[in-house]
Amino acid sequence: MTRPASRRPAPNSPRTPLPGIIRAAFAAWLAAAILVAVAGISFITSAQTQQRDGAALTSLGAVTLAVAFIIAFYALRLRTGKRSARETLTTVGMIAGIPLLFRGPALIAVGAVLLVCVLLLWLPQSSRFFQERDPKARRGLFGRRRP
């Protein structure tokens, strides 16, 4: 079966360039992943020099590195327009970013970066991009798909 000639090119085709806001969000999320990974490595390095709380700092560093990996993975999926990437990054950014705003001057910057990254994902230009690439299925009253 062939496509009708009047139809637009597929949204995931290589010919459609990414909007500037998505490129900026992708770069910001990659920078956030690097920043979080550096924090995780810092925790693990500090654990090597501490006589007490070494296991706790190592565990915190491992969890922080896992969060950095999740951020980087979903940032890559962001470029394909996956709505799940936007939702996951928003969740991670809010859960990690808001508490960091109240943890001292060094961590305020990390929290602010995460929250700015979340903001980029919900601007009107971003919403249009996700609606075109990964539209929501229309659902009825009880969660059933409507035609």
Helix, strand, coil percentages (3-state) for the chain, rounded to 5, are: 70, 0, 30
Q: What are phi and psi of 18, to 5 degrees?
A: -70, 140
Per-residue pLDDT for 8 more than 60?
no
Per-residue pLDDT for 140 more than 80?
no
Per-residue pLDDT for 104 more than 80?
yes
Q: What is the pLDDT of residue 27?
A: 94
Residue 68, both tokens: 């950095």
Residues 124-136: what's their mean pLDDT?
86
pLDDT band, very low/low/confident/very high, at 131 (cuts 50, 70, 90)? confident
Question: What tens digit of pLDDT does each residue of 67-79 get?
Answer: 999 999 999 999 8
Compare 12 and 42 and report the one with higher pLDDT.
Answer: 42
Q: What is the pLDDT of residue 6?
A: 45
Q: CA-based angle 18:88:43, to the nearest 5?
A: 110
What are the sequence ranges of the domains in the chain?
20-133
* Least confident residue range of 32-36, 109-113, 114-118, 143-147: 143-147
Q: Taking the alpha carbons of 14, 24, 66, 61 in that order, is the dihedral positive or negative? A: positive
Residues 78-89: what's their mean pLDDT?
91
Question: What tens digit of pLDDT does each residue of 22-74 get?
Answer: 999 999 999 999 989 998 999 899 888 877 778 888 999 999 999 999 999 99
